[in-house]
Amino acid sequence: MRTIARLLAVLVLLFGLSTTGAAAPAGNPLEMTDGFYADPASNPAKWVRANAGDPRADAIRTEIAEKPGARWFGDWNPDVAADVGGYVGAADAADELPLLVAYNIPGRDCGGHSGGGAGSPEAYRAWISDFAAAIGDRPAVVVIEPDALAQLDCMPEDERPVRLDLLSYAAAQFAEKAPNTWAYMDGGNATWVEPPVMAERLRAIGVERIRGFALNVSNYYTTEESVAKGDAIRQALGGSALFLVDTSRNGNGAAPGGEWCNPAGRGLGVPSQVGGGADLLVWAKVPGDSDGDCGIGQGVPAGTFSPDLAMSLING
């Protein structure tokens, strides 16, 4: 669709032809693309190519690797402009909509399994600015900094204003430099931070400048639970912001006791789609990528693909 839109624009310049109803309006990435982009270099896809003879390969390919999901960018991407630009460019060439996650806030994950992030506020500002600029006017969906707002409570009180300032800066960068991107600031999950409190934090970072907020990223709560939480946050915000829900691993809902780190008995959720009670339902977390050295992923570091974890999700 994007290629067609460009061709029509050229015809207008050459021949004065009308494109009424044909070209997508600026700012709506769904109307500029034809479906979501499945990352050909995701961890599951790379594992399948390297293990074609494994009896698990066919199931992992069809149930996970070929499904559209997000690529995560963080401190493992020192040249984030090149990496983001290459990924978004490949999706654009396929006329499909890429999903991205920015995950590089200083003090990430409060030093937990996914700890790390940019080394300083200045480094983060440069990194997120390059991230947004690399997308440019191409269509994209971006989730900004999973857990960063919800984890304010684990930070020393005098450091919280710095984080809010960095998240506000991130929102401003996408609003300014990526006009055809729908950006969503992470807003925690269904049982983490009460709606009025999260709404206050989202308001503090200027959520009105972007599409809205994200829920359930890398978590397991059902879509129904997440939509109820999202509606409550929206109401507290005055009904303006929209939200997406990560459905990658919520097919069976949350584990008993709220265990979040590679819990057993979970299942794949509905694939990435528009609507479903939210603005979008997307696979933000890559199914099969470990939450950390914990649960049924003992010995598998955070972000590392495990075919055993993938099969556990496939089998439910």
* Active-site pick, 92, 109, 246, 279: 109
Q: How far is the first Cα of the chain from the last one, in angstroms, to the nearest whole number?
A: 36
CA-nearest of 173, 153, 154, 176 to 165 is 173
Q: Is 109 a catalytic residue?
A: yes
* Active-site pick, 39, 92, 130, 147: 147
Burial class (CB in 10 A: 0-12, 13-18, 19+), 239: exposed
Q: CB pairs under 8 A, 24+ apart, for 289-293?
A: 289/43, 290/262, 291/113, 291/114, 291/218, 291/260, 291/261, 291/262, 292/112, 292/113, 292/114, 292/261, 292/262, 293/113
Q: Is 158 a catalytic residue?
A: no
C-alpha gyration radius of the chain: 19
Q: Is 291 a catalytic residue?
A: yes
Q: What are the catalytic residues?
A: 109, 147, 291
